Structure 1
Amino acid sequence: MNTQPLEKKSHILWEPTDKDIERSHLKAFAKTVNQPLFPYERLHRWSITNIGDFWSGVWDYADIIGEKGETIYVPADSMADAVFFPDAKLNFAENLLKGKDAQVAAYQADETGVTAQITFQELRKQVAKAQYGLQQLGVKKGDRVAGITTNNIEGLVALLAATSLGAVWTSCSPDFGAKGIIDRIGQVQPKILIANLKYQYKQKPFDISDKVHETVGQIGSIQHVITIAGELPDAITWHSFLENDVEIPQFERIGFREPLYILYTSGTTGLPKAIVHSVGGTLLQHVKEHQLHCDVHEEDVLFWYTNTAWMMYPWVVSGLASNASVLLYDGSPVLPDTPMHLWNIAEEIGVTHFGTSPKYLDSLMKAEVVLKDHYSLASLKSILSCGAPLVAEQYDWVYETIKEDLYLASISGGTEIIGCFVMGSPVHPVIRGEISCKALGMAMEVFDDRDAPVYGQKGDLVCTQAFPSMPLTFYGEDGDERYRNNYFAERPGIWTHGDFAEQTIDQSFVIYGRADTVLNPGGVRIGTAEIYSVVEQIEEVKDSIVFGLPCENDEEIVLCVVTDQLSKELAKHIRQQIRKKASPRHVPRRIYQVNDIPYTVNGKKVEGAAKTEAIGKEVKNKASISNPECLQEWTDIKEKECY
């Protein structure tokens, strides 16, 4: 069913068939809550107007195990004070471990290929053993259990065992430096640390024993250390930790608003914020997104390329609550001689939902990979993308080189909400360069400087109604105050997310980048994604970063490119393409050649760090940057040769 105006027909890259719509979760959900599916915009308005009815409907539709209680939603004068399911009791792990005995719960893969798989029955047994092990170490409800874990089955078991007891899980990736780990988990005073001592990346082995030893020495709250793939003095090995006869896990049901996860922001402007997420809010947000928006069905195989520090890791893990299988992958997405490595795995195990980033898709584009020439991808239903805006040309490339009958969805949300604000749906057509719709239950608008909603204009992405996965608090001193100052200070009572965006008249969305990296030459706000979308299509440019430098009470655009040789001719070509495809205002005043671009450990460009270094200020938390040494290239950049 097409709800788009006729003039947009030429930009439609995929449309669901009537059969697709009829068998979608979204169609079935609309029926269960006695609401028409179309127009979708009406269903969405119902979901943010009848907030209690909507989220109660999600609980019922997703077969959440627990006691829902009579009261669903208690509004308040402030979004941050609204309360969901005040009387509910549930256990997160119980809801993720309800799958059929013989069904594969998780596949494990690394740079060598698929290495293991575990059924729901086997996973329940492993969780029972780990649960008993944690109990013997004194873990109880509310305790923090920290992981420095790779994306593998042992890490999944540890997470589920901790949450089965009502404990709080928090994790870092082994590739973080010791300071990055301590800056994060040190804030939340964990009782137990579970650590993978060895991992492999780009076919190189790494041993982090010294890093773990330093972490334990710096965090006094850690009482016990459990090691995976290696041994440390005075630590418990994973094998001995599971050495008991327990086979059936017990689940402690706790309040909807009890803490489940502590996640961390990138921390490039200071100490990472430790964001506390609730049991019920996380579970409901994820089952809603998986089922209603991504159309994940029982026995589908859900994958997202992620490490254990990024919010997409718990997002994928929650796929188990929809009775789907998940693929856990640890390693580099692209190997030196095998750029299609992830697709070898996807084809072998029948991945249905493939989650990735624009950066990864761009790497395949530049390698001129044509996946449909190598794989049938018969099982593949959708490709999902986040981490940065997906540009229009990447939409084209996906349908031209991967698969024509495919639901492609760019999504936008964040660690702060452990979910999405705007995303796709199985009943919307895919429009080139656009995010299809507002997520159900999320009251999204784009506000201008008057705090008025606008269409066809760029502004700030905001949310005007409460939703269950709002953070409980920021962990630590003055946590409530810091939380409110971050998201509600700019517009009291309204969540200002920090994305620079545009809402079309059809209520689809285009994200132009983070508001704090928006360029402002001549007083006109420009999103960095508008420039990246052009530059990334230029064959000679391998990577790029753009930011604004102060200049005589104004700002000039600086573009830094990774290329074999920056010449006057290439710089002229870059400017011509930006002028033609964006506007004269987007054209950079200065273009520099650099050897590398700063990225967070989660793969996001750090424009702020490059700018901070360029204006001679100190980058406060280099531990959050995977390659901080490259920032030296931005020191005194105005003194260097530019074009």
Structure 2
Amino acid sequence: MGTGVNEGELLWEPSQEFKECSNIGHYMRWLKENRGLEFGEYNSLWHWSVTEIEDFWESVWEYFDVKASRSYSKVLTERKMPGCKWFIDSELNFAEHVFRNMAIDRPALIFKREGEPILEISWQELHNKVSFVAAMLRDMGVKKGDRIVAYLPNIPEAMIAFLASASVGAIWSSCSPDFGARSVVDRFKQIEPKVLFATDGYTYGGKAFDRRPIIAEIQEALEVLERTVLIPYLDRTAGPSGLRDVVMWDDIIGDKSVELDFEQVPFNHPLWIVYSSGTTGLPKALVQSQGGILIEQLKFLGLHLDLKPEDRFFWFSTTGWIMWNILVSGLLMGSTVLLYDGNPGFPDMDVLWDYAEQARMTVFGTGAPFLISCMREGMQPGKRHDFSALKSVGSTGAPLPPDAYKWVYDSVKDDILLGSTSGGTDVCTGFLGACPLLPVRAGELQCRCLGVKAEAFDEEGNSLIGEVGELVITEPMPSMPLYLWNDPGDKRYIESYFDMYPGIWRHGDWIKITPEGSAIIYGRSDSTLKRMGVRMGSSEIYRVVEDLPEVLDSLIVGYERPSGEYFMPLFVVLKEGVELDEELKSKIKNKIRTSLSPRHVPDAIFSLPAVPRTLNNKKLEVPVKKILMGIPPEKAVNVDSMSNPQSIGYFVELAKKLTHH
């Protein structure tokens, strides 16, 4: 159900008091007092941050009082991508910065499990548990640079195990337990872990899933794995049935804390390995640094999301999505971090809004598809709940359409900062996102983030304003991967990000930067539709098509046929009982024509059972396009990175029919 709003329509403006009380407002006053730098508004501050990048990042270090056991000799070796090094010679520890907040008397974590009451964990309890796990890792012989992996739901134990790993200088990596064995092995086998943390199972949508048989398969495949720490979660009495070299979580955790030592590591020492959705081939294992993530998160969470110690910071995520890594970083700000484990739509779509009220969330973050689903269901959570504590709603993972922006202000709360963020697993942050100093306009991301020289490029590498182009980053960022694991000579790293414009990061998103400095993302550029020389993003078509009451979901691709003609089919998932007859096809085409343009109208419309999606719920446009172009499915897509692998069969059959025409 649409809400009738135009892209760019003003929906909210911060009050003078809101701006002055924000961290970024305070930071600007600090720059004036300590550096003699005065910026009248955000855009001039941003411009300084991406031209004087060394001065900017040094100011972030000082403003947030980064604690280093050894100071840096230089902020940046050279402005070169890939390959530059940050804060040379400095040594520090990410987890040590988390536990600077020990004195805070608010909870460190709040946890809610599907169908269970809320649980609070104090800073002292968090510290105690991390100290026991860190001591156990040291007893197991875990040293700096060893890999620790987790196959865990979004539970407090995952955060505890991560902080213990960071404390001892090990390298963390996690997958969510809804990943199948092959998917997990494709990721973890690459990095040869020493220790695995896992739960006996998890609950989702009211159903229990015992994962011990999968853990046995993972153990089998990881030859160098020495120990598995099992956390009884599905069944509190669960034992290690059929698993080897198991240590039970409850046997590690004592009553009083032991000494928690923070291993001092170089700024550019790996913190964790994250994976980019491997739609083809093995997932890319991206290595991000302790210092790079620390300083980026202080900037992103502090200055853009405006997190403070009194905040209660929630983002719906699993341990297999980068938002979990950003969520754990909320502890750096001293904020209370809120976790949820379960299905966000069970028993109904109100469960997270209910949690928001009960836990008095100040920041409610989620994926754009969740907000869109709530809007489509006609929900009005603001009428049913007390959101007096709520100060902002965050959205990421996909473009948020203008009508969903309007829905948040109409149906959740009218006086909040709606921060839509676009970034990537690859950098563990937003390139574009929220800014407490700026207005919110429908469909627009408020700003390019500080220190992020995001631009829109045409094919020749010219920077565009007010036109759609490739999202590129033209100056280095501290949280860019140090390297890809097992990637001699950075071959895959360069192919993945620096192939189109040498020395410039091409992200693979389609973007328009407005003259005011805000931005609109139009979906993935590698699945961009290009008709009669004009490029179109798939997300604008989805917005129109999925607004129709008959349509539940949709997918559109465009590709050159062997004849040279461009073919652009649309696939729709229809409501139960609805047939795709000529009348409905005409209705869909007319809606697209009148809402967008004749150029956006598909060449054919097909009804399909389900849109293929990744484990993180992204539509698989590129693999579908490849299959329709005749590329064998096993080369076009890695089914283990999919949430619904059976959905690909439809396109394999269709490709056969289309080639016979």
TM-score bucket of the superposed structures, by smaller chain: over 0.9
Alignment correspondent of 1:557: 568
Q: How does 1:303-452 map to 2 (within 5 A)?
A: 303-335=314-346, 337-452=347-462
- Distance in 1 between the 2:74 and 2:10 partners? 39
Alignment equivalent of 1:181, drawn from 177, 181, 184: 184
- For 2:239, the equivalent position in structure 1 comes to 231
Determine the C-alpha separation between the residues in 2 that align with 1:361 and 1:248: 44
Amino acid in the other structure paired with 1:288: K
CA distance in 2: counterparts of 1:475 and 1:635, whole angstroms: 33
1:116 to partner: Cα distance: 1.6
Partner Cα distance (1:614, 1:9) in 2: 33
* Post-superposition CA distance 1:499-539 (Å, at most 9, x none): 11111111111111111111122332211112112122222
Shift of 1:611: 2.3
Residue in 1 aligned with 2:198?
A: 195
Deviates more, 1:366-375 or 1:140-149: 366-375
Q: 1:589 pairs with 566, 586, 603, which one?
A: 603
Pairing 1:484-633 to 2, within 5 Å after superposition: 484-551=494-561, 552-564=563-575, 565=578, 566-616=580-630, 617-618=632-633, 619-633=636-650
Cα shift at 1:77? 5.8
Aligned twin of 2:68: 66
Matched, 1:25 2:23: yes
Q: Partners of 1:463 and 1:639 in 2: how far apart?
A: 40
Residue in 1 that maps onto 2:235? none
Count of residues in Structure 1 that have an aligned counterpart in Structure 2: 633
Structure-1 separation of matches of 2:494 and 2:325: 24
SS in 1 for 2:616: coil
CA distance in 1, matches of 2:558, 2:200: 41
Q: Distance in 1 between the 2:126 and 2:258 partners?
A: 10
Residue 129 of structure 1: SS of its match in structure 2? helix
SS in 2 for 1:97: helix
Which residue is equivalent to 1:95?
Answer: 97
Verify the 8 A CA contact 1:77 1:493 in the aligned structure 2: no
Cα RMSD (Å): 1.7
Question: Separation in 2 of the partners of 1:139 and 1:479?
Answer: 28
Structure 2 distance, partners of 1:250, 1:47, is 35
Matched position secondary structure for 2:127: helix
| Alignment of 1:154 onto 2:157 | yes
Q: Deviations over 1:228-254 (max 9, x none)?
A: 113324311111122485433111111
Residue identity (%): 37
Match of 1:467 in 2: 477
SS of residue matched to 2:500: coil
Supply the distance in 2 between the matched residues of 1:9 and 1:356 (Cα, whole angstroms): 21
Question: Aligned partners of 1:480 and 1:323: how far apart in 2?
Answer: 37
Task: Specify the code of the residue in structure 2 equivalent to 1:280.
Answer: G
Quote the offset at 1:63 in angstroms.
2.7
Letter of the structure 2 residue corresponding to residue 231 of structure 1: G
> Which string of whole-angstrom CA distances, capped at 9 and with x for unpartnered residues, describes residues 244-276 of structure 1?
854331111111100001000111111100000
Instruction: State the Cα deviation string for residues 589-633 of structure 1 (Å, max 9, x = none).
Output: 111111111111111111122223333422341000011011112
* Alpha-carbon contact 1:54-1:441 (below 8 Å) kept: yes
Structure 1 stretches of at least 4 aligned residues deviating more than 6 Å after TM superposition: none
The aligned amino acid for 2:66 is I
Residue of structure 2 in register with 1:81 after alignment = 83
Could you tell me which residue of structure 2 aligns to residue 220 of structure 1?
223
1:124 and 1:248 in contact (8 A); partners too:
no
Query: Does the aligned pair in 1 maintain the 2:363–2:392 contact within 8 Å?
Result: yes
In the other structure, the counterpart of 1:282 is 293
Matched, 1:135 2:143: no
Distance 2:355 2:113 in 1: 9
SS at match of 1:295: coil
Specify the alignment match of 1:261 in structure 2: 272
User: Structure 1 CA distance, aligned partners of 2:72 and 2:247?
Assistant: 45
Q: Whole-Å Cα distance in 2 between the matches of residues 228 and 555 of structure 1?
A: 53
When residues 358 and 592 of structure 1 are mapped into structure 2, their CA distance, relative to the original with a 3 A threshold, is: same
Which is further off, 125-134 or 246-255? 246-255
Could you tell me which residue of structure 2 aligns to residue 293 of structure 1? 304
Aligned to 2:45: 43
Which position in structure 2 is the counterpart of 1:5?
none
Q: Greater CA deviation, 152-161 or 100-109?
A: 100-109
Q: Counterpart of 2:503 in structure 1: which amino acid?
A: G
Give the deviation of 1:328 after TM superposition. 1.1
Q: 1:149 touches 1:308 (CA, 8 Å); kept in 2?
A: yes
CA distance in 1, matches of 2:498, 2:144: 30
**Contact kept in structure 1, 2:627 and 2:655, CA below 8 Å:** no
Task: Give the conservation status (yes or no) of the 8 Å contact 1:423–1:436.
Answer: yes
Structure 1's unaligned 5+ residue stretches are 1-7
**Closer, same or farther: CA 70–638 of 1 in aligned 2, 3 Å:** closer
Q: Distance in 2 between matches of 1:332 and 1:628?
A: 20
Stretch of structure 1 that moved more, 97-106 or 588-597: 97-106
Letter in structure 1 aligned against 2:350: M
Query: Quick one: which amino acid aligns to residue 89 of structure 1?
Result: E
Distance 1:602 1:406, change over 3 A: same
SS of residue in 2 equivalent to 1:66: coil
SS at match of 2:398: coil
Change (3 A) 1:36 1:577: farther
Q: For 1:154-213, what per-residue CA distance to the aligned partner results, in whole angstroms no more than 9, with x for missing partners?
A: 111100001100000001010101000000011000000011121011111000101110
Partner amino acid, structure 1, of 2:223: G
1:112 and 2:115 aligned: yes
**TM-score of the superposition, structure 2-length normalised?**
0.93
C-alpha spacing 1:483/1:639, structure 2 compared with 1 (3 Å) = closer
SS at match of 1:545: strand
Structure-1 separation of matches of 2:368 and 2:657: 30
What CA deviation, in whole Å up to 9, does each residue of 1:39-71 have, x standing for no partner? 211111111122122111112222322246243
Separation in structure 2 between the aligned mates of residue 95 and residue 530 of structure 1, nearest angstrom: 42
C-alpha distance in 1, partners of 2:546/2:268? 43
Inter-partner Cα distance in structure 2 for 1:27 and 1:101: 24
Q: C-alpha distance in 2, partners of 1:162/1:389?
A: 34
Q: Deviations over 1:328-348 (max 9, x none)?
A: 11111111x421000111111
